[in-house]
Amino acid sequence: MSRRVLTLAAVLLLLAAPLVLPEFYVTLLNYIGLSSIVALGLVLLTGVGGQTSFGQAAFVGIGAYTTALLATRYGISPWLTLPAGIALTVVIALFLGFITLRLSGHYLPLATIAWGIAIYYLLGNLELLGKYSGIAEIPPLTLFGVALADGRTFYYLIWLVALLALFAVSNLLDSRCGRAIRALKGRTTMAECFGVNTARLKIVIFVYAAVLAALSGWLYAHFLRFVSPQPFGVNASIDYLFMAVIGGSTEVWGAVIGATVLTFLKQWLQELLPKLTYESGNFEIIAFGLLVIVMLHRARDGLVPYFARLVPADRKRMLPVASEPPPRRAQPQRGDLLLELQGVAKRFGALVAVKDLSFEMRSGEILGLIGPNGAGKSTVFNLMTGVLAVDAGKIVFRGERIEYLAPRDIARRGITRTFQHVNVLASRTALENVALGAHLRGHAGTLSATLRFDRAEEARLRHEALRRLEAVGLRGHAFDAASTLPLSSQRLLEVARALCADPVLLLLDEPAAGLRHLEKKALADLIRSLRGSGLSILLVEHDMDFIMGLVDRVVVMNFGEKLAEGSPREIGTNPDVLEAYLGSVA
């Protein structure tokens, strides 16, 4: 039984459920559908994007109260209050996102707790919103003149929206933006180096999740036809997080499974425990906490990934169909001045990592950057790609100063790199990792990805990624998770990803480390053929045989300074270089 069949079965079960289940369970399923929509936002934001929010219930509240107020007091049609609620949510989410998401770590959780508490008090204290007693007699939704007043009818609306949301988020995650979103969790530097505006993308997924929550709130208000502040507090937000985590916060179906398990668990504990203990106490909260802990001890990634192991993945992975490559950029004229470092310096506290470094590079050249460990080579890469800010000096690329630019702007100008410490999305396939390199060669945004308007472009990007994988000899591993490849192959994966960006200048940080002899030879051939196609390459490497047979010129660094510069032959006999590497001969 494949996953596709399981999904289909789940949808059919959902369709049939209200025909056979008693009213009570239909209501329960309605609540599960409403929660699934919110938890789905958290899968995108928290599980995949790595940003924790404690404020989703408050966004549900915004959606619910907007329609409640506009529909009861001003008699506006519920179909018009939906866009109003969403617009309000977007404005608030943009503000909260702007002040917190440019920072790392803990600021979003805190700001959303603050926002959740504030909105709860606001809803409870405003006369206009009925204070703590809320707003009643919200009109039902009407569709073609038929009022959706009955739970069984409303069931289909809720689950239609939930399944559409599920479809939308899976589409988004399976796209150019989706690859970038996955990199937000702990790989922001790498993503920035391939042109992803990570701060903006974090805000985008925060707004996306907030809109899903507001949509759920709008449905909630017209389903229950009554709103009060209680279900929109921080506790409810925490419940949504529980759902996402227990279901499996990296999978879209995790939201549905988590919402189902949690809702039934709470319901059963409330019914069952008073019968067992003969007193109504807070035993259900104790049992609930205990069960959650046990569940996460057994399946820390959530229930969906835990059981997904039992179901074989769909075997036939579709290789990307052949399609024309995405547009390439024009390479500069061979021999033109490409890159110039002038007096570049970088210090970390008292440690001088790079000191008064100057060299230049011409287009179509392979330049080797060598030096003993700790000479500052990787720091130079980080300065050139904007990952670190220079303390002094200029970096000029094609006549333009770039030392003050952000990594993504430098990437846009055609400088791409690999990382000394392999920096890949471990659980994603090799193909996806390489396709991330082509981020700047595509343009489809979150909306077109959600609506599947990006397929033609996506096919081009994926096929380009496959061609690059083939170039480094990893075509056979296209669908293997990156973490399952040996380290040397992961290095080649990085090379393929960098090539996928169609660079003008390629920075390779120890690409041959750990490679076997034949693999090194293949890599050297690849690098030569790249030069043949007009690419310029700056190469950091420790393997002297590899580098000396390959490069046109060498710059030698020691203790952050340039020690020597020249052809491989000159460098090989330079006494200063020999001393730096081997110690004094005399």
Partner 1 sequence: MNTAIALWLSQDAVMNGAIYALLALGLIVVYTVTRVILVPQGEFISYAALSLATLQAGAVPGTVYLLIIAGVSVALVDTIALVRRSPNRGAASATSPRNDASGAIARILFWNVLVPLLVAAAAWWSASRRDLLVLQVLVTIAIVTPMGPMLYRLAFQPLANASILVLLIVAVAVHYMMTGLGLVFFGGEGLRSQMFPGLTFQLGILSITGQSIAVVITAVVLILVLAVLFGRTLYGKALRATAINRIGARLVGISAEFSGRLAFTLAALIGAVSGILISPITTIYYDTGFLISLKGFVGAIIGGMTSYPAAAIGAVMVAFLESFSSFWASAFKESIVFTLIIPVLLWRSLTAQRIEEDEEP
Residues that bind partner 1 (CB under 8 A): 46-47, 50, 52, 98-100, 102-107, 110-111, 113-115, 117-118, 121-122, 125, 184-189, 192, 198-199, 238, 241-242, 245-246, 249, 281-286, 288-290, 292-293, 296-297, 300-301, 389, 406-407, 426
Q: How far is the CB of 481 from partner 1 (least distance, A)?
A: 14
Using CB atoms within 10 Å of the CB of residue 22, give its burial: 0 to 12 exposed, 13 to 18 middle, 19+ buried.
Answer: exposed
Looking at the Cβ atoms of 117 and 447, the one nearer to partner 1 is 117
What letter would DSSP give residue 2?
-
Q: Which residue reads 């790595």 in tokens? A: 50
**Tokens at 104, concatenated:** 């790392």
Smallest distance, Å, CB 244 to partner 1? 9
Alpha-carbon separation of residue 153 from 80, 119, 156, 193, 387 (angstroms): 21, 31, 6, 50, 55
The least distance separating partner 1 from the CB of residue 89, rounded to whole angstroms, comes to 18
- Check: CB of residue 193 under 8 Å from CB of residue 416: yes
CB of 42 to partner 1, least distance (A): 10
- CA end-to-end span of the chain, whole Å? 73
Residue number with CB closer to partner 1 (88 or 292): 292
Nearer to partner 1, 15 or 110 (CB): 110
Q: CB-wise, 130 or 332, nearer to partner 1?
A: 130
Write down the least CB distance from residue 118 to partner 1, Å. Answer: 5
Q: Any bridge partners for residue 143, and if so which? A: 146
Q: Are the C-beta atoms of 39 and 105 separated by less than 8 Å?
A: no
Exposed, middle or buried: residue 339 (CB in 10 Å: 0-12, 13-18, 19+)? buried
Contact assessment for residue 441 and residue 501, using Cβ atoms and an 8 Å cutoff? yes
Q: DSSP H helical segments within 248-302, as ranges?
A: 252-277, 283-298
Name the minimum Å distance from CB 111 to partner 1: 6
The residue among 7 and 280 lying less far from partner 1, judged by its C-beta, is: 280
CB of 176 to partner 1, least distance (A): 20
Name the residue nearer to partner 1 (CB basis): 407 or 511: 407
Question: Do the Cβ atoms of 243 and 262 come closer than 8 Å?
Answer: yes
Kindly state the smallest distance separating residue 279's Cβ from partner 1, in Å: 10
Report residue 511 CA to chain centroid gap.
25
- DSSP string across 322-359: P-PPPPPPPPPPTTSEEEEEEEEEEEETTEEEEEEEEE
Q: Which is nearer to partner 1, 281 or 335 (CB)?
A: 281
> Is residue 366 within 8 Å of residue 537, measured between CB atoms?
yes
Nearest-approach distance from CB 527 to partner 1, in angstroms:
29
Cross-strand partners of 556: 370, 564
**For residues 289 and 312, which CB has a smaller minimum distance to partner 1 in the complex?**
289
Q: How far is CA 559 from CA 64, 372, 375, 389, 554, in A?
A: 63, 8, 5, 19, 17
Nearer to partner 1, 87 or 285 (CB): 285
For partner 1, which is the closer residue by CB, 181 or 504? 181
Kindly state the smallest distance separating residue 48's Cβ from partner 1, in Å: 10
* One-letter amino acid for residue 169 of the chain: V
Scored b (16 or more CB within 10 A) or e, 548-572 reads bebbebbbbbbebbbbbbeebeebe
